[in-house]
């Protein structure tokens, strides 16, 4: 796909009943069964191209049906391979963290339990590595979760194994895919769309040869997409490829249309600065900066997905990401986000954080937030860039939080934007007042500078020392008097040395921040 194009998918509800409904069910069963048989043959080392003629005759499907099945299956196999590599890396990370934790434990009971967990993880890692080496791929058609429910029928609401079996067969045969091509009429030979007088679509589905006893085609009228309908009409007019997926649920059939959209003109740039975004478990922290990396505005947008189902979380994420992209479009500045492997972060924090933090982490759809920001930015002509997030929270806490009156997360967002701009990340000459995140501050010794090492080497040293200092600080605060507690909460809004190209008039800077913040109101 060209760099200036991206695929988007839109869905609509199709009203199908009677004979049409039964034909759709039979078509889904036939094409799903063919896909499973093709996967079995490919797993033995056979080539799809060599099997095509045999499958067309054996299952009485068209060449386009076979191509759609092949493309869909190749996508699933590629995804499974990528998942294998990610799972192996994730298990290695967990084993390393668990081994480190074991060396510090003294409780025999905890040591025993951690060793059992370590043994299970090691065994699982060995199996995954063996599968990768043997190029063995496992796919569960119908979902592994539903498959495992047969072993706990009562707990999962099944009255009998036959009841589970009925749902299992439905899940394995509830959808089919029809591949589009720009060289075909209406962008898809197997499912062509025509525009009705009222603007709705009528879909004409080419039935497999095995199901043509009632006719060669099945018509589905009055299809209207709640979102993206105009894009689909434009694609039909231009002859662009449109792929369709049909899926059956408890309410009937849904139709998904996927098409490539060209990028609109980009309306943002970095000439006047950027907007950094720090993604957190319960909110997005935003900081706007000028082209030198000095802060202009700040904002925090709540985003708590804990306790929400998939659709509720997706709706919340979509609304928040749309508002963030709107801010960037209004300011005419590029959005900068962190390129973070959240799976590793969750693995690292599992051994360190409490139950509350673990629940928040498990409900954070980090990849979904990134996907929504990129997709919305693409449609709105807003550039979204990614940077390495290493030590951004620490740098923001140490250098910018107190100086500019930012929260630790807003300061991290500022650092994310500054990193994209290539601004300085040197360690300050003094580390006397580092915010603790609760109104107080701590102090750290300045690490010895080594010109032969990267600046992150010094930040890594501080990153290792700060948790110990904060833990001791909070223990002291709990035992201190109320007077000393109040004194630590009195923090000036701006303090410290003035950055390069930053005005020495801190009063004017404060007023500027407050006025610019109105843009984010």
Most confident of 3-17, 218-232, 364-378: 218-232
Angle at 381 between CA 310 and CA 334, to 5 degrees: 90
Spatial CB neighbours of 42, under 8 Å, sequence gap ≥ 6: 48, 73, 77
- Predicted local distance difference test score (pLDDT) of residue 93: 87
| 181-193: average pLDDT | 92
Residue 75 has pLDDT above 90, yes or no: yes
Indicate whether 299 pLDDT > 80.
yes
Q: Is the pLDDT of residue 415 over 60?
A: yes
pLDDT tens sequence across 131-168: 999 989 999 999 999 999 999 999 999 999 999 999 99
Our measurement of the distance from residue 44's CA atom to the centroid of its chain's CA atoms, rounded to an integer in Å, reads 34
Cα–Cα distances (Å) from 134 to 47, 106, 127, 159, 413, in that order, read 17, 40, 11, 40, 43
Dump pLDDT digits (tens) for 343-353: 655 555 454 45
- In the chain, what percentage of residues exceed pLDDT 90? 57
Mean pLDDT of 328-351: 76
Q: Average pLDDT, stretch 423-439? A: 75
* The pLDDT of residue 504 is above 60: no
pLDDT of residue 90: 86
Under the banding of pLDDT at 50, 70 and 90, the label for residue 171 is very high
Rg over alpha carbons for the chain, rounded to the nearest Å, is 28
Separation of alpha carbons 187 and 179, rounded Å: 9
The encoded tokens of residue 326 equal 């709107």
Q: Work out the angle at residue 468's Cα, subtended by the Cα atoms of residues 464 and 469, and round it to the nearest 5 degrees.
A: 105
Give pLDDT, residue 403: 85
pLDDT band at 362; cut points 50, 70, 90? low
pLDDT of residue 80: 93
Q: Which residues contact 32 (CB under 8 A, 6 or more apart)?
A: 141, 172, 173, 174, 175, 176
Q: Where are the beta strands (DSSP E) in 312-455?
A: 333-338, 384-387, 434-435, 441-442
Q: Which of 17, 19, 16, 27 is nearest to 211 (CA)?
A: 27
* β-strands 441-442, 269-279 pairing: unpaired
pTM of the predicted model as reported, rounded to 2 decimal places: 0.76
pLDDT at residue 482 is higher than 60: no
Res 63: pLDDT: 95
Cα–Cα distance for residue pair 363/317, rounded to 1 Å = 12
| pLDDT of 113 higher than 70 | yes
pLDDT confidence bin for 497, thresholds 50/70/90: very low
pLDDT in tens, 246-267: 999 989 999 999 999 888 899 9
- The share of the chain scoring above pLDDT 70, in percent, equals 83
DSSP 398: I
- For the chain, what is the mean pLDDT? 84
Instruction: Pick the most confident of 11-15, 436-440, 473-477.
Output: 11-15
Give the span between the Cα atoms of 168 and 165, in whole angstroms: 5
- Domains, the chain, ranges and CATH? 270-520 (3.30.420.140)
Tens-place pLDDT, residues 309-324: 888 888 899 999 999 9
Q: What residues have CB less than 8 Å from 423, skipping those under 6 apart?
A: 292, 293
């Amino acid at each position: 796909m060209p760099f200036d194009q991206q695929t988007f998918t839109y869905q609509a509800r199709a009203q199908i009943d009677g004979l049409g409904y039964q034909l759709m069910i039979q078509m889904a069963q036939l094409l799903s069964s063919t896909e499973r048989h093709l996967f079995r043959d490919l797993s033995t080392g056979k080539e799809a191209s060599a099997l095509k003629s045999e499958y067309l005759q054996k299952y009485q499907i068209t060449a386009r049906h076979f191509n759609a099945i092949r493309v869909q299956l190749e996508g699933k196999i590629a995804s499974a391979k990528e998942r294998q590599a990610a799972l192996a890396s994730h298990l290695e990370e967990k084993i390393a963290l668990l081994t480190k934790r074991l060396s510090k434990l003294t409780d025999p009971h905890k040591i025993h339990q951690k060793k059992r967990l370590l043994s299970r993880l090691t065994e699982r890692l060995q199996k995954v590595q063996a599968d990768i080496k043997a190029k063995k791929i496992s796919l569960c058609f119908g979902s592994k979760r539903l498959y495992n429910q047969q072993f706990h029928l009562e707990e999962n609401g099944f009255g009998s194994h036959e009841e589970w079996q009925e749902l299992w067969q439905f899940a394995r045969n509830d959808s089919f895919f029809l591949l589009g091509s720009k060289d075909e009429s209406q962008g898809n030979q197997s499912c062509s769309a025509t525009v009705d007088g009222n603007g709705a679509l009528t879909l004409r589905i080419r039935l497999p040869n095995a199901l043509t006893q009632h006719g060669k085609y099945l018509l589905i009228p009055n299809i209207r997409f709640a979102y993206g309908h105009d894009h689909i009409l434009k694609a039909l007019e231009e002859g662009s490829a449109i792929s369709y997926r049909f899926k059956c649920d408890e309410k009937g059939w849904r139709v998904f249309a996927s098409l490539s959209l060209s990028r609109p003109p980009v309306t943002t740039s970095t000439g006047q600065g950027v907007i950094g975004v720090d993604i957190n478990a319960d909110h997005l922290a935003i900081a706007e900066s000028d082209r030198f990396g000095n802060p202009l505005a700040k904002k925090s947008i709540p985003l708590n997905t804990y306790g929400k189902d998939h659709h509720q979380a997706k709706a919340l994420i979509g609304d928040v990401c749309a508002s963030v992209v709107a801010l960037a479009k209004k300011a005419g500045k590029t959005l900068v986000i962190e390129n973070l492997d959240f799976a590793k972060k969750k693995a690292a924090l599992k051994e360190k954080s409490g139950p509350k933090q673990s629940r928040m982490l498990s409900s954070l759809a980090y990849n979904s937030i990134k996907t929504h920001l990129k997709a919305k930015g693409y449609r709105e002509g807003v550039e979204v860039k990614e940077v390495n997030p290493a030590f951004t929270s620490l740098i923001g806490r140490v250098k910018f939080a107190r100086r500019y009156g930012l929260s630790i997360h807003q300061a991290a967002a500022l650092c994310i934007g500054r990193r994209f701009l290539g601004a300085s990340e040197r360690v300050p000459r003094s580390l006397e007042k580092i915010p603790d995140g609760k109104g107080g501050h701590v102090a750290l010794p300045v690490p010895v500078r080594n010109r032969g090492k990267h600046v992150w080497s010094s930040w890594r040293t501080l990153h290792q020392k700060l948790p110990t200092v904060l833990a001791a600080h909070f223990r002291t605060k709990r035992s201190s008097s109320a007077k000393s507690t109040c004194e630590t909460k009195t923090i000036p809004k701006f303090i410290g040395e003035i950055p390069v190209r930053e005005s020495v008039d801190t009063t004017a800077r404060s007023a500027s921040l407050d006025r610019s913040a109105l843009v984010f109101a």
